[in-house]
A and B are shown apart, each in its own frame.
Chain A
């Protein structure tokens, strides 16, 4: 278990993302309403593990890290949220549906310092 936890928090999951998923475009990218909606969904489903400020709690990684904000594309994050990383405790959020998953990603990407400064 500790190995898989490490595998998720160190970003090993990125290598598993199929190329087609990696290149997917976020239809809500940079939309202010999507940021607000994504923040609501994040608060309801993600904040209890990753923190209200997305800084991470205990074993649950920060979502403000360079890996999430710079290295991972929106498509990568969509793949992770859809499939989860079940061995490491990250559930699949496919039940939210694509629009809400994209909205959460839009919100997460808005936390990037460059986005905040904009």
Chain B
């Protein structure tokens, strides 16, 4: 990868390279503060965690990337995750959006999660795009036919390309501005979700209803949805440990998109995506997920490839007490 010094003016003047699939990530642009240190540090942390804290859970993760299920983090457990999405919008530059997440089970009915987001865009720059803090609450104890979870998130981001949710009129045009321009648009937002999840004969059905509000501007409430279905390839555990057996895989599909705003609810000028999803849990507890996802209309990025790595540490604070 060639690192090219670039001024902010040059970024704004540089036309995006149509159809660019790869290219130089210009990291040193003044006004576009690179945070290249962030990912090596967090990656080192993940590796160190693997080496130092071998007692990990076999996570039984749902293979969703956008959809939330009713599952909560077990109390005292810490899950470290990275979610990534690569895309190539028409008339724009290829990008990778990434986040690093730390999810902690406060109570059986309360899970809290902190995210750091970043993105790299071909022919542009690699930047830190902000943070998010979410909390999920399960109001009904016990298991029901439909299990509701209430979700509240605060985010402070700009030029975000992680696509962790699609709301309002989010769409491919959002990806055409250079980072130097789009990061000027600060988004301090509150996001609320109603998550509904059901388990039926090993199948999980999850539906999310999303609303988001920019707290700084007079913009209207934005709406979106996400729906997922998944199932482990084998429900019963094997008598002996295995690596590539069906027990270690879960597969499914998800669909998500925007539903307009409080000024105009509906699907006009909204983007929608769908695709199959799959994950695999390694014997040491690390879960690796992937999903090719397809834009369902011309307002969407035509193709997204998502991948994730997660690792759960049981009773994380107990390790420090030893």
Contact = CB atoms under 8 A, between A and B. Distances in A.
Interface residues of A, number: 28
- Judged by DSSP, the binding face of A is helix
B27 to A, nearest CB: 41
B236 A99 contact: yes
A100 B235 contact: yes
Contacts of B138: 86
A37 B314 contact: no
A49 B75 CA distance: 10
Interface string A63-100: 00000000000000000001110110111101111111
B239 A36 contact: yes
Contact of A86 (B141, B238, B239, B285): B141
A94 B314 CA distance: 18
Contact of A41 (B69, B199, B237): B237
Contacts of A84: 108, 141-143
Contacts of B153: none
B232 A97 contact: yes
B315 interface: yes
A97 B75 contact: no
B57 A45 contact: yes
Contacts of A92: 108, 142-143
A82 B141 CA distance: 11
Interface residues of B, number: 33
Contacts, number: 77
B236 A103 contact: yes
A98 B237 CA distance: 11
B235 A99 contact: yes
Interface in B192-213: 199, 202, 204
A103 B109 contact: no
A3 B315 CA distance: 23
Most buried by B among A34, A89, A91: A91
B239 A37 contact: yes
A46 B86 CA distance: 37
A87 B141 contact: yes
B74 interface: yes
Contacts of B239: 33-34, 36-37, 40
B267 interface: no
13 contacts: A37-B237, A44-B58, A48-B315, A49-B315, A83-B143, A84-B141, A86-B109, A87-B108, A89-B108, A95-B69, A95-B71, A97-B235, A99-B202
- Give 10 closest A-B pairs by Cβ, nearest first: A99-B236, A36-B239, A86-B108, A37-B237, A44-B58, A86-B141, A83-B142, A33-B239, A48-B314, A99-B235
Given A83-B142, A87-B141, A95-B60, 17 more contacts: A36-B240, A37-B236, A38-B237, A40-B241, A84-B108, A84-B141, A84-B142, A84-B143, A86-B108, A86-B109, A91-B72, A91-B75, A91-B105, A92-B108, A98-B202, A99-B235, A100-B235
